[in-house]
Amino acid sequence: MSQQFHSPGHHSRQYPLDYWLSRDVARATPEGTQSVLRNMAWNQGQWRGLAVACGGSGAALLAAALLILILGGPAVGIVLFAVAGLGLLGGAVLALQKLRGVPRIKAVMQSRAPGKFSSGLGLAAFLAVVFGIGLFPVVAPLLQGGPLQVLAFVAAYALMLVVVVSLFAVPAFFSEHAREHFRRRIDADLQLRRYLEEMALTWQDTQGGRAFGPL
């Protein structure tokens, strides 16, 4: 006997969490359909992407400050890069704090950022090529200063790659796999699972008619 699945808008009764976590129910529901679980997953994915974007960019800027210091560059540049890097690392810590609790159930913020890892990686590669071509005429004379200058350019370009990948490719990865990552977290976090199990049996959206699931 085949199992019967109800549409997300069906509210004749509440369904347990395991029902909403079913992959069959998820496949039977259009990708763009919102639900409490999907909004939680997408919000968690956005915060994870933000944490990595801030952390990766901040670490790269701190490394750039160190590189300027080693090369004997201006103190102003060292301070600016260091302050910006520390600020971004602070943002990463705040984003990680958001990930510890239960994700928000509100609809995610609209964004024009890439939603798939391949698109984010392609954009990062495109920007890396554009920046490389644009900066080469400027740095080409400096490369004749010896091996140290060449190594400095390679290091600076590598740090720039870290920044663009952190800003575009990594957040897109977490966005693309947000629901699967949230499913794994539910399986691993017993406290979160108990909270969602109770919520699944009591959820009522009196305004928008949004269902609790599927994920």
Per residue, the 3-state secondary structure of 58-102, as one string, reads HHHHHHHHHHHHHCCCCHHHHHHHHHHHHHHHHHHHHHHHHCCCC
- The CA-to-CA distance between both ends of the chain, in Å, stands at 24
**Predicted local confidence at residue 30, as pLDDT:** 86
Check if the beta carbon of residue 91 is closer than 8 Å to that of residue 147: no
d(CA 14, CA 24): 18
Alpha helices in the chain (DSSP H): 17-20, 23-27, 36-70, 75-98, 117-139, 147-164, 170-176, 178-188, 190-202
CA trace torsion 191, 25, 212, 104 (10° rounding): 60
**Predicted local confidence at residue 111, as pLDDT:** 67
Domain ranges of the chain: 41-101+114-202
Phi/psi region, residue 209 (left: phi>0; alpha: psi -120 to 50; beta: rest), is: left
pLDDT below 50 — which residues of the chain? Answer: 1-12
d(CA 91, CA 164): 17
How many angstroms separate the Cα of 79 from the Cα of each of 60, 68, 89? 14, 10, 15
**Predicted local confidence at residue 5, as pLDDT:** 41
d(CA 99, CA 158): 29
Tokens of residue 208, six digits: 């928008």
* pTM, rounded to two decimals: 0.82
